[in-house]
Amino acid sequence: MQDKTTKQTARSARGQAISADLIAVVIAVTNGEPRVLTIGQAGALPSGPFEFGHRSLQSGLRAWVERQTGHRLGYIEQLYTFADRDRIGDERMQRVISISYLGLTREEQAERSPMHGWQGWYNYFPWEDHRAGVPLMLPDVVMPRLRAWADEADNPYTRHDRWQRVAIAFGLDDRDWNEELALQRYELLYEAALVAEAVRSLNTGGASPIPGRPMIADHRRILATGIARLRTKIKYRPVVFELMPPIFTLLQLQRTVEALAGRLVHKQNFRRLIEQQDLVEETGETMSDTGGRPAKRFRFRQTVLAERTAAGTKLPLSRA
Partner DNA sequence: CATAATTATACTCATCTGGAGCATAATAGA
Partner DNA sequence: TCTATTATGCTCCAGATGAGTATAATTATG
Of 116-145, which residues contact a copy of itself (CB under 8 A)?
Answer: none
Tell how far CA 149 is from the center of its chain: 26
What is the per-residue binding string for a copy of itself in 60-99, x denoting contact by CB under 8 A? ----x--xx---------x-xxxxxx---xx---xxxx-x
The answer to whether 244 and 105 have CB atoms below 8 angstroms apart is no
Nearest approach, Cβ of 178 to DNA (angstroms)? 12
Cα separation of 132 and 266, whole Å? 14
The answer to whether 240 and 234 have CB atoms below 8 angstroms apart is yes
Positive or negative CA dihedral for 310, 313, 317, 319?
A: positive
The answer to whether 286 and 278 have CB atoms below 8 angstroms apart is no
**Judged by CB, which is closer to a copy of itself: 236, or 288?**
236
Cα separation of 70 and 27, whole Å? 15
- Tell me which amino acid residue 71 is: H
Could you say whether residue 31 binds a copy of itself (CB under 8 A)?
A: no
Q: HSE, CB side, 13 Å, CA atoms: give it for residue 311.
A: 11
Nearest approach, Cβ of 251 to DNA (angstroms)? 4
Nearest approach, Cβ of 288 to DNA (angstroms)? 5
Q: Which does 311 bind (CB under 5 to 8 A by kind): DNA, a copy of itself, none?
A: a copy of itself
Nearest approach, Cβ of 237 to DNA (angstroms)? 14
Nearest approach, Cβ of 219 to a copy of itself (angstroms)? 10
Q: Diameter of the chain by CA atoms?
A: 77
Q: Which does 44 bind (CB under 5 to 8 A by kind): a copy of itself, DNA, none?
A: a copy of itself
**Judged by CB, which is closer to a copy of itself: 7, or 293?**
7
Of 156-215, which residues contact a copy of itself (CB under 8 A)?
Answer: 164-165, 168-169, 176, 178, 180-181, 184
**Judged by CB, which is closer to DNA: 58, or 283?**
283
Could you say whether residue 6 binds a copy of itself (CB under 8 A)?
A: yes
Could you say whether residue 280 binds a copy of itself (CB under 8 A)?
A: no
Cα separation of 21 and 29, whole Å? 26
Q: Strands 96-104 and 247-249: what pairing?
A: unpaired
Cα separation of 61 and 222, whole Å? 15
**Judged by CB, which is closer to DNA: 102, or 279?**
279
Nearest approach, Cβ of 4 to a copy of itself (angstroms)? 9
**Judged by CB, which is closer to DNA: 113, or 288?**
288
Query: Angle 250-261/267-276 helices, nearest 10 degrees?
Result: 110
Could you say whether residue 11 binds a copy of itself (CB under 8 A)?
A: yes
Q: HSE, CB side, 13 Å, CA atoms: give it for residue 239.
A: 23
Q: Which does 292 bind (CB under 5 to 8 A by kind): a copy of itself, DNA, none?
A: DNA
- Site residues, DNA (CB under 7 A): 249-251, 266-269, 271-273, 276, 286, 288-296, 314-320
Cα separation of 9 and 27, whole Å? 40
Nearest approach, Cβ of 173 to a copy of itself (angstroms)? 11
